[in-house]
Amino acid sequence: MLIEVSELSVSYAEHEIVRNVNLSLDAGEILAIVGESGSGKTTVIRAILGCLPHEGRVTGGRILFEGRNVLENTPAEWCRLCGTKAAMVFQDSGNMLDPIRRIGSQFVEYIREHSPLTKQEAARAAEDMLRKMHLPNPENIMKSYPFELSGGMRQRVGVAMAMFFKPRLLLADEPTSALDVTTQAQVVKEMMEICRKDKTAIIIVTHNIGVAAYMSDKLIVMQAGRVVESGGTDEIISRPQSAYTKELLAAVPQVGGKRYVG
C-alpha cells in the first residue's frame, strides 16, 4: 500500500474540522474526495502533505506513506519528500507562481532545487515536460510571465511542475474548477495520461462528482468533516447508500433526460 490514512482528525485552533478519516491508495490508483465547500476535503490532503495553515494541526490518527508515518517527519524530511515523491496541484496554479518572474526562471529553479541538473539541462527538461502537457510553443511559454498565459495554460504549467519528478503521489486540490468545461476535460485527460504512464497515485479533491466519476477508481464522500460514504467509484455511483451522496448525484445536470456521470 502506497499511502494509508487511519482515523485522521484535524483541528483549526479549538475547532475540529476533520474527524476520523480513513483512506488507502496503491500505486497508479486514483481516489476522488467529493463534498460541498467546507466539508474538510482540502484539509485532508493538506494534512497528508504537511502543509496545513499555521493554526491547523493534526490531533489524531496517522498517515503512512511507503510504510512511514509522515506525521513524525522533521522539516528536512518534509523538504525531501515534497516535490519529488509527493507533489500538489492547486486550484489556480497561476496564484502559486511569482507574477514578476518568467515561467522558465521559476521552473528551472524548482528543478535545480531537487536535482543536480545544470541550468541548461533543467531548461531543456522543463520544455520537454511542458510539451508532454500539450502546451504549444514551450519555448515561448518559458519566456512568458504568468499573466500572459490563459488559465488553462497556467494550470498545465502547474501540473507539469508537479509531475516533473514523477512523484509517487499527486495531490490535486480542485485542479479544474477555475477552467471552462472544454479545458477542464483536456487538463483531466492529460493528468490521467501522465499518471497512468508513471504509475503515480492521485488524490483529487473536487466538488464536481462528474469529474470524480470519470477519473477515479475509489471515491470518498465528505460532509461536515466526516466521511459519509467510501468505496469503489462505480459501486457508489450506481448504488449510493448515503442520503447526502444521493443529493450530490441528483444535482448533476440532465441532458435529454439523461444524467451524465462517469
How much of the chain, in percent, has pLDDT values that exceed 70?
96
* Cβ–Cβ under 8 Å, residues 225 and 39: yes
Q: What is the pLDDT of residues 39-67, one digit of tens each?
A: 999 999 999 999 998 889 999 999 999 99
Predicted confidence at residue 184, as pLDDT, reads 78
Pick the CATH number of 3-259 from 3.40.50.300, 3.40.190.10, 3.20.20.70, 3.40.1110.10: 3.40.50.300
CA atoms within 13 A on the CB side of 207: 11
Predicted confidence at residue 258, as pLDDT, reads 46
Predicted confidence at residue 221, as pLDDT, reads 96
Predicted confidence at residue 175, as pLDDT, reads 84
pTM of the model: 0.88
Predicted confidence at residue 261, as pLDDT, reads 58
What average pLDDT does the segment 232-254 reach? Answer: 89
Predicted confidence at residue 253, as pLDDT, reads 66
* Cβ–Cβ under 8 Å, residues 226 and 203: no
Predicted confidence at residue 48, as pLDDT, reads 95
Stretch among 82-96, 189-203, 247-261 having the lowest mean pLDDT: 247-261
Predicted confidence at residue 193, as pLDDT, reads 83
What average pLDDT does the segment 17-34 reach? Answer: 95
pLDDT at 19 exceeding the cut of 60: yes
Given pLDDT bands bounded at 50, 70 and 90, which one contains residue 90? confident
Predicted confidence at residue 192, as pLDDT, reads 84
Is 179 or 161 the better-scoring residue by pLDDT?
161
Predicted confidence at residue 239, as pLDDT, reads 94
Mean pLDDT, the chain, whole residue set: 90
* Cβ–Cβ under 8 Å, residues 155 and 93: yes
Across 22-26, 51-55, 85-89, which has the greatest mean pLDDT?
Answer: 22-26
Given pLDDT bands bounded at 50, 70 and 90, which one contains residue 20? very high
Predicted confidence at residue 203, as pLDDT, reads 95
Given pLDDT bands bounded at 50, 70 and 90, which one contains residue 257? very low
Q: Return the closest-CA partner of residue 204 out of 193, 194, 217.
A: 217
Predicted confidence at residue 100, as pLDDT, reads 95
Q: What is the pLDDT of residues 176-214, one digit of tens each?
A: 777 777 877 888 888 888 778 889 999 999 888 888 888
Given pLDDT bands bounded at 50, 70 and 90, which one contains residue 91? confident
